[in-house]
Amino acid sequence: MMKEIIIATNNKHKVEEIQQEIGKKIKIIPLKELGFREDIPETGSTLKENARQKARFVFEKFGKDCFADDTGLEVNALGGRPGVYSARYAGEKCSFDDNINLLLEEMNGKTDRTACFKTVICLIENGEEKYFEGICKGNITTERYGNKGFGYDPVFIPEGYGESFAEMSGEEKNKISHRGKAIRQLIQYLAKK
């Protein structure tokens, strides 16, 4: 019987990316399949706190094994911003485009364009928490490149590559991305069980 695990999100891009990486070993159940469409509070000051808060919320609501991730883009020239506020950098009801526009505006004229994406996953299994972290270093571009992926993908070129995440196939991106690295750790952990 295939293992099922709830993912604490309704972000279809994230679900597709994670399911592609996990493959057929585990079926991930997004919240909408459980009829849950509300936003889960994210009031932590770190990615780890937010991942834990979301996972705990879902575990307490449904009583089933689940995991949640929080991802942030940390830009050195901006003192680590947008960081934990990456998804709502330009405001609460902002779009990916709004966030990118603000980032490019704030990076205008900056010579240090180094940044990194970080993902922290909190898995709750039988009430116990485990954490997995992935980091991908790179640079912020001066304009958008590509139309694949989501979020800041069009303005992030990973270290050692000549194209943005948004120019890569999902498979290529997952091999080197922060989320891909964290998910592989999660899969390795689950595979040992």
For residue 164, CA distances in Å to 13, 23, 44, 157, 184 come to 17, 24, 29, 4, 22
Cβ atoms within 10 Å, residue 71 = 23
- For the ranges 27-36, 104-113, 119-128, the lowest mean pLDDT is seen at 27-36
Percent of the chain as helix, strand, coil, to the nearest 5: 40, 25, 35
Residue 15 has a pLDDT of 84
Average pLDDT estimate for 8-12: 85
Q: Indicate the average pLDDT of the chain.
A: 92
Residue 47 has a pLDDT of 96
For residue 149, CA distances in Å to 55, 60, 164, 173 come to 24, 31, 10, 9
What is the tens place of the pLDDT at every residue in 62-74? 999 999 999 999 9
Catalytic residue chosen out of the listed positions 65, 69, 70, 153: 70
pTM: 0.89
What is the tens place of the pLDDT at every residue in 132-179? 999 999 999 999 999 998 899 999 999 999 999 999 998 899 899 999
Contact 31, 6 (CB under 8 A): yes
For residue 68, CA distances in Å to 13, 133, 139, 148, 150 come to 14, 12, 26, 23, 18
Residue 1 has a pLDDT of 55
- Indicate if 97 belongs to the active site: no
